[in-house]
Structure 1
Amino acid sequence: MRSAVLATLMAAGLALTTASTAAAATVLQTSPAGAASVGRPAIIGGKAATEPYSFMVSFRLNTLREHHCGGALIAPDWVVTAAHCEGLMKPGKTQVRIGSPDRDNGGALTSVKRIITHPGWTDPSGEPEGDIALVQLDRPVDLQPIRIADSPGRVGEPTRIIGWGMTCEYQKDCAYGPKQLQELETVRVPDRRCVSLDRGTEVCTGALGKKAANACNGDSGGPQIRKVNGRWELIGATSRDGDDVEERQDGGAGCATNPDGRPGLGIWTDVTHYRSWIADTIGKDAPADLRNAA
């Protein structure tokens, strides 16, 4: 049942690619259940980034003009992103910009060497799970990675999401997303409030203050972070919409609101759940705390 719902959700829009990459994504990105994983995660209702994020990543296929997915640097040459972004990750052809609030300039510029999706994502014998992937860069970068948190924290704890996704509900008005990195204060909410969420491997998230704001097209794979002992740590990777099962009929993305018009929710892959898999996959390049966890 979950596989069918997940495929519907991904086709409907939280595979967070931007409008400019939608046609290519339709061809290149396919969920394990066979549905196109074209989607609709951008940050709606946020504001321009208020601080530097040395770990923030923008992916862009060289043949397309716009950013299409986000990610988080966790080691000098490794990035965590969403598995459903895999279709637009082309070794030697996908541009990776790291550590700049401007998606088009600054920071470190490199490329994709290889991408490794979680084995549960493409396992044909079961339901798709593990919307998480590791991207190895073609060279290490001299920027501070973000530590993966030990846990996602408790329901009710404040978090933050960052990205370059759409900033409104309608693609015709803001299809290309902002050049300036956006951030939004968010909070973990009870898992039961999100549709088809895998408890223990995903987290349900809404905007702080219950306002109509959330991630949208272009935010896929981008980080959800929380403060631990005064520093940001990674807890999630943007996955999909949390309350829209069917695509909106009016051309709206439906990211910031649910079908009834109330503040919407989103689903993030719980990166902390995959600490051991990440450590095993990266091997000797994994941070010491991850190797110890494995």
Structure 2
Amino acid sequence: MRVRAFLSFVGAVALAAAVVTAPRALADDRVVGGGDATRVYTFMASIQFEDGTHHCGGTLVGGRWVLTASHCLDRMTADGLRVRVGSKDRTQGGVLTKVERFTHHGSQDVAMVKPADEVKSGQLNVVRVPATGATVRLLGWGSRCDGGCGDRCPATLQQLDSTVVKADTCKNCSIDTSSEFCVQREAKDGGACERDNGGPAIENPDGQYWRLDGVLSRGANPCKPGPDVYVKVGSVIDWVRKQIFSSAAHAGPATGQWPDGVRWPSATPAR
């Protein structure tokens, strides 16, 4: 995610055991041009190689599952990966654990990674279908320039507020409007870069809780200003629930489904 540039499913759906609160509405917390994360996002994950090199972003959606992009795991093996969750610094803090296994969706560019150890952190458990014009926050440890800039992946998490735009803005990315949405800054001065993939687009429409809108799949012009395509988490919600509730660590209803709009009662303060 470049420093100079980078940094509505109607209703809510419960995914896991905690609600992550946000300090105030995004419009009041805009980071123009992007930069270092202003807070710890307890649900944010860095998927890494064994040597600690950052590979892709992810989102904790259950104490034992991290949602990411499927292509991030192509030609990978679980024993060659690890995950750090709940720290602004990808090199330290939070929880660092090996990967037990991962599973691909199959038809959408999403996958779920199961950490070897349960992560007791604030999961992101409410999903929205993003509306055109909505302000979303993008997170990642990706590169900050298009090659040749030294520290290509910053240690500190980067954030950028951007906007959900009409799908035809991403027409050069072969966007599937039934399962994907398009994001671009109004000033057209930013976009995702390599290794931001798999990271979340989150939304805070009521100033209370972060909602998970999407998973970064690809960009029209990676590492240069241009629109980016995110998979709608709402379009794969049944599959996500199935992975979470099939785990012995999570006892859910026999159907593996929760009614739309239900939230678990506990909350994680955003501080």
Return the TM-score normalized by structure 1.
0.71
How far is the alpha carbon of 1:88 from its aligned partner?
A: 6.2
Alpha-carbon separation, structure 2, partners of 1:237 and 1:286? 26
Match of 2:69 among 82, 89, 97: 82
In the alignment, which residue of structure 2 is the partner of 1:283? 245
The amino acid of 1:188's aligned partner reads V
Alpha-carbon separation, structure 2, partners of 1:155 and 1:255? 23
Match of 1:185 among 155, 161, 179: 161
Give ranges in structure 1 of 5+ residues lacking alignment. Answer: 1-15, 17-41, 121-129, 245-253, 258-263
Asked if residue 154 in structure 1 is aligned to residue 124 in structure 2, the reply is: no
> For the Cα contact (< 8 Å) 1:61–1:90, is it kept in 2?
no
Match of 1:255 among 223, 226, 229: 223
Asked if residue 131 in structure 1 is aligned to residue 133 in structure 2, the reply is: no
Alpha-carbon separation, structure 2, partners of 1:152 and 1:89? 30
In the alignment, which residue of structure 2 is the partner of 1:248? none
Give ranges in structure 2 of 5+ residues lacking alignment. Answer: 8-32, 261-271
Match of 1:212 among 165, 189, 208: 189
In the alignment, which residue of structure 2 is the partner of 1:272? 234
More helix by share: 1
Alpha-carbon separation, structure 2, partners of 1:274 and 1:287? 18
> For the Cα contact (< 8 Å) 1:188–1:204, is it kept in 2?
yes
How far is the alpha carbon of 1:256 from its aligned partner?
A: 3.1
Alpha-carbon separation, structure 2, partners of 1:152 and 1:104? 33
In the alignment, which residue of structure 1 is the partner of 2:140? 163
Higher relative contact order (CA 8 A, sep 6+): 2
> For the Cα contact (< 8 Å) 1:89–1:115, is it kept in 2?
no
**Mapping 1:196-235, distance limit 5 Å:** 196-207=174-185, 209-229=186-206, 230-235=208-213
Asked if residue 292 in structure 1 is aligned to residue 268 in structure 2, the reply is: no
Is the alpha carbon distance of 1:225 and 1:174 closer, same or farther for their aligned partners in structure 2, counting shifts above 3 Å?
A: farther
Alpha-carbon separation, structure 2, partners of 1:287 and 1:155? 33
What secondary structure is seen at the aligned counterpart in 1 of 2:257?
A: helix
In the alignment, which residue of structure 2 is the partner of 1:144? 122
Q: Which of structure 1's runs of 4+ aligned residues deviate more than 6 A?
A: none
Alpha-carbon separation, structure 1, partners of 2:204 and 2:159? 14
How far is the alpha carbon of 1:152 from its aligned partner?
A: 2.2
> For the Cα contact (< 8 Å) 1:66–1:176, is it kept in 2?
no
In the alignment, which residue of structure 2 is the partner of 1:240? 218
In the alignment, which residue of structure 1 is the partner of 2:39? 51
Alpha-carbon separation, structure 1, partners of 2:140 and 2:194? 10
> For the Cα contact (< 8 Å) 1:110–1:139, is it kept in 2?
yes
Alpha-carbon separation, structure 2, partners of 1:286 and 1:161? 31
The amino acid of 2:191's aligned partner reads N
In the alignment, which residue of structure 2 is the partner of 1:32? none
Q: Cα RMSD (Å) of the superposition?
A: 2.2
Asked if residue 60 in structure 1 is aligned to residue 48 in structure 2, the reply is: yes
What secondary structure is seen at the aligned counterpart in 2 of 1:292?
A: coil
> For the Cα contact (< 8 Å) 2:78–2:99, is it kept in 1?
yes
The amino acid of 2:215's aligned partner reads A
Identity across aligned pairs (percent)?
A: 33
> For the Cα contact (< 8 Å) 2:126–2:210, is it kept in 1?
no
Alpha-carbon separation, structure 2, partners of 1:220 and 1:54? 18
Alpha-carbon separation, structure 2, partners of 1:43 and 1:104? 20
Return the TM-score normalized by structure 2.
0.76
> For the Cα contact (< 8 Å) 1:184–1:214, is it kept in 2?
no
**Deviation by residue 1:220-242 (Cα, 9 ceiling, x = unmatched):** 1011100143211111111101x
Alpha-carbon separation, structure 2, partners of 1:79 and 1:223? 11
Alpha-carbon separation, structure 2, partners of 1:155 and 1:110? 37
What secondary structure is seen at the aligned counterpart in 1 of 2:191?
A: coil
What secondary structure is seen at the aligned counterpart in 2 of 1:92?
A: helix
Is the alpha carbon distance of 1:202 and 1:106 closer, same or farther for their aligned partners in structure 2, counting shifts above 3 Å?
A: same
The amino acid of 1:219's aligned partner reads D
Asked if residue 108 in structure 1 is aligned to residue 76 in structure 2, the reply is: no
